[in-house]
Chains A and B, each alone.
Chain A
């Protein structure tokens, strides 16, 4: 059986990431931000134009997701992770500015992994296809920027016991590579 999950409370310091190792099962608590393709493209333009970002990357976690609409009485509709590699061209811009965590699915580029190691950021995997369960961990949700993007708007979430796995830690570990090597026949 897997060991007990590690509990983390966001925002996070670099020191809090140091004990994490690839394959660790983690429960995220506290504030995380949803942003995906279109929001990242806008944040890049904002950085280039010297304008403020809709979220301060320092210490924060970005969740790559585009939620479905919420039924009445629910904080958020079903919201699983989307493919993280589409955000690879943008991720280092936020990592350089102190982003401590990213949550998504699928492998990251070498450039992103290098940036994570240099600046201190961890990539967590959430299980795609568990959108209904993940949404249950979201206790509060509000759109904080780019409302016109609909499902792609930046959301600020308050989460409890949000289940993730460490994919890329600070030491070059990569769950996708290691898992595949271990089980290849």
Chain B
């Protein structure tokens, strides 16, 4: 058994909250720079230039580059040989979020319930998904999820007969419907397969993949590229002002499904695509 103190988890989470909200990942910055080179609309290029400049200012001053510092979503890969001591892991993560959002001058955006809309005051609870992992691994991957783009996400239960063409159509339609609201250029997470909720989970998990890294399955990698081209042909462009760079990357994750089913979920992430991870 490998023992990890709950306080170490709290500290790692605190750091992740601040890092993810103030420093855009290098792969994402590279994707933005490629988009700047490829964008044909002058106004679109100006938008991307401002985004890059903003990212630099935020990094230098250690401030949030987007005021919507979102839901604090964590994927926790927890090995069977790991034991958390001195506290429960969920509480340790919440404490890290509480400290990170306070000390990092990050906005508290979580309300107690959709009906009782009182702010919880510290951005907790974190949204935590546990994933079984081999042996002594404990890896925390944070996704800061803004609401503007999450609100434009969608799920559809297609039939097997409708198949792949309908899946592609649904992804593009979701982005067309979101238009400027989801803050393009987007990172697009697509989940296919499983029952209803599995597709949504896969779509969210797909967003944590390093920006533009293709799916290891060559067929899915081709599909990712085809979808990216179709999305960029919509003309929505940076900030929705029109242009050729509507998405930076499409990440698809797939899971086995039922003989009667073809679920597809699309989770959109805005141009402030925020992920960070830590291994303890």
Chain A contact residues, CB within 8 Å of chain B: 1-2, 23, 38, 65-71, 77-80, 82-83, 85, 105-107, 125, 127-133, 136, 150-151, 163, 165, 175-176, 178-185
Contact = CB atoms under 8 A, between A and B. Distances in A.
A106 B270 CA distance: 12
- With most chain B CB atoms within 10 A of its CB, the pick from A2, A70, A133, A178 is A133
Nearest to A184: B235
A180 B54 contact: no
B107 interface: yes
B235 A107 contact: no
Interface string B82-113: 00000000000000000000000111110000
Contacts of B109: 66, 151
Interface residues of B, number: 49
19 contacts: A23-B43, A65-B67, A66-B109, A68-B67, A79-B67, A82-B68, A105-B240, A107-B181, A128-B183, A131-B64, A133-B57, A151-B67, A165-B241, A179-B236, A179-B241, A179-B243, A180-B242, A183-B41, A184-B235
B67 A67 contact: yes
Contacts, number: 162
A77 B64 contact: yes
B239 A125 contact: yes
Contact of B46 (A2, A85, A180): A2
B105 A105 contact: no
A1 B181 contact: no
Given A1-B42, A130-B51, A176-B240, 4 more contacts: A66-B109, A83-B181, A181-B242, A183-B235
Contacts of A77: 63-64, 67, 105, 107
A78 B272 CA distance: 13
Nearest to B176: A180
Contacts of B194: none
A105 B181 contact: yes
- With most chain A CB atoms within 10 A of its CB, the pick from B63, B151, B244 is B63
Contacts of B64: 68, 77-78, 131-132
Interface in B194-249: 233-237, 239-244
A127 B239 contact: yes
- With most chain B CB atoms within 10 A of its CB, the pick from A77, A79, A83, A105 is A83
A133 B108 contact: no
A184 B230 CA distance: 10
A131 B53 CA distance: 11
